Amino acid sequence: MWKKAGILRATKRYTTVDCDCDEQLHQADVMEFERDGKTKYMAFCSLTGGAREVKEEELIGYTFQPAKVAELFHSLFRCRADVEMIIPGRLWKMGRSGVPVAGRSRDIYFTPRLNDDPQDIYSKLPDTKTPLLIVGSSRYSKSPDNPYDDNRIVSVDTILMIQDDKWALDMEWLHQLACDGPDEEPEPETRDATATTVGAMKKALHEYLETQYRHYCHELSRGNGSQLLKPITQEYLAERIGKSKPRVSALLELKVKFEKCKHPEIRAMWDASHDLELMIAYGNKHWGSRRRTA
């Protein structure tokens, strides 16, 4: 994944490797040869005369490309501006996030390290609550001159993960980390904007219910019985539509009786994604009986 994203780039080729003999630590020379029309490599120990085959990957040296990391987070956060290098080789600005973090859009920054002169980095961040500084290494200095709360600085390894062979952000953890308080209010929307958000929620819930229903039909056809795919979460729904979790929660009105909901259709779809019988009924209505769908 790191190589595919260009974060690790091949920049050199070695002609020696660490020898795996039981003698003192030393390097073994590598020889290249052809076998069955393919290039092979062998490492020869100068102390024991032993030899072993070497994979080509062992001979490639990689360097870390921080600009590619900035581009990756720019994409994952759906930032609205172009990536900008603020300090050459040390600090990048990705712009305001299109994906809300703890209920609000954030200014996203990335630095590969925060050990050497961290105040140079801090001085370039805006004096507001919104900056989120991502650090390439989990070992960074928390300077006493740091003007920002610890929940505004995160390391790559705590928020970046792989889902279905794709890079993804741990939005639930990010929300917990960066939230200013448990009762943070959702950003206000106009009536037209609310209608657009509700429409996006309907579409996302409908697509998720279709996935659930087809999974149910597939498992049933294999004789595995009735199984409900993992129910959708508010964090996932918020990420899918590019809104904050508090906004999604406010529109779902899960603490309000169904008959008093302002948007009963999305509430019904939400309930269906969490209840096997409701999900089956929704699936039969929209995609036919399980016999035709399986």
Read off the DSSP letter of residue 223: T
Give the pLDDT band of residue 148 (cuts 50, 70, 90).
low
Q: Give exposure, 23-49, as e/b (b: 16+ Cβ within 10 Å).
A: eeeeebebeeeeeeeeeebebebeeee
pLDDT tens digits, one per residue of 99-115: 887 777 888 999 888 77
**Does any domain span residue 49?**
yes
Read off the DSSP letter of residue 263: -
Q: Look at residue 119 and tell me whether its pLDDT is greater than 90.
A: no
Say whether both 224 and 146 belong to one domain.
no
pLDDT tens digits, one per residue of 211-236: 989 888 888 888 777 667 777 888 88
Say whether both 133 and 164 belong to one domain.
yes
Give the pLDDT band of residue 152 (cuts 50, 70, 90).
confident
pLDDT of residue 200: 94
Say whether both 71 and 21 belong to one domain.
no
Please give the Cα distance from 109 to 130 (Å, whole number): 11
pLDDT tens digits, one per residue of 179-210: 654 444 455 567 788 899 999 999 999 999 99
Q: What is the mean pLDDT of residues 62-74?
A: 82
**Does any domain span residue 268?**
yes
Say whether both 70 and 174 belong to one domain.
yes
pLDDT of residue 150: 55
List the one residue out of 104, 73, 76, 129 whose CA is nearest residue 244.
Answer: 104
Which among 155, 178, 201 is the end of a domain? 178
pTM over cut 0.75: no
Q: Look at residue 144 and tell me whether its pLDDT is greater than 60.
A: no
Say whether both 205 and 289 belong to one domain.
yes
**Does any domain span residue 83?**
yes
**Does any domain span residue 23?**
yes
Distances (CA, A) of 82 to 78, 90, 204, 241: 10, 17, 28, 21
Task: Please report, as a single letter, which amino acid is at residue 135.
Answer: V
Mean pLDDT score across all residues of the chain: 80
pLDDT of residue 181: 47
Q: Look at residue 36 and tell me whether its pLDDT is greater than 80.
A: yes
Q: Specify which residues 167 forms β-bridges with.
A: 162
3-state SS assignment for residue 254: coil
Say whether both 40 and 100 belong to one domain.
no
Please give the Cα distance from 58 to 251 (Å, whole number): 54
Q: What is the mean pLDDT of residues 133-139?
A: 78
Say whether both 267 and 216 belong to one domain.
yes
Which among 119, 143, 178 is the end of a domain? 178
Say whether both 143 and 202 belong to one domain.
no
Say whether both 137 and 75 belong to one domain.
yes
**Does any domain span residue 1?**
no
**Does any domain span residue 80?**
yes
Say whether both 160 and 71 belong to one domain.
yes
Give the structural domain span for 165: 66-178
Which among 22, 39, 63 is the end of a domain? 63
3-state SS assignment for residue 65: coil
Give the pLDDT band of residue 271 (cuts 50, 70, 90).
very high
**Does any domain span residue 184?**
no
Number of domains in the chain: 3
pLDDT of residue 281: 92
**Does any domain span residue 183?**
no
CA 234 remoteness from chain centre: 16
The H or E element containing residue 249 is helix 245-252
Say whether both 205 and 114 belong to one domain.
no
Q: What is the mean pLDDT of residues 269-282?
A: 91
Give the pLDDT band of residue 293 (cuts 50, 70, 90).
very low
Contact in structure between 42 and 51 (CB atoms under 8 Å) = yes
Say whether both 46 and 132 belong to one domain.
no
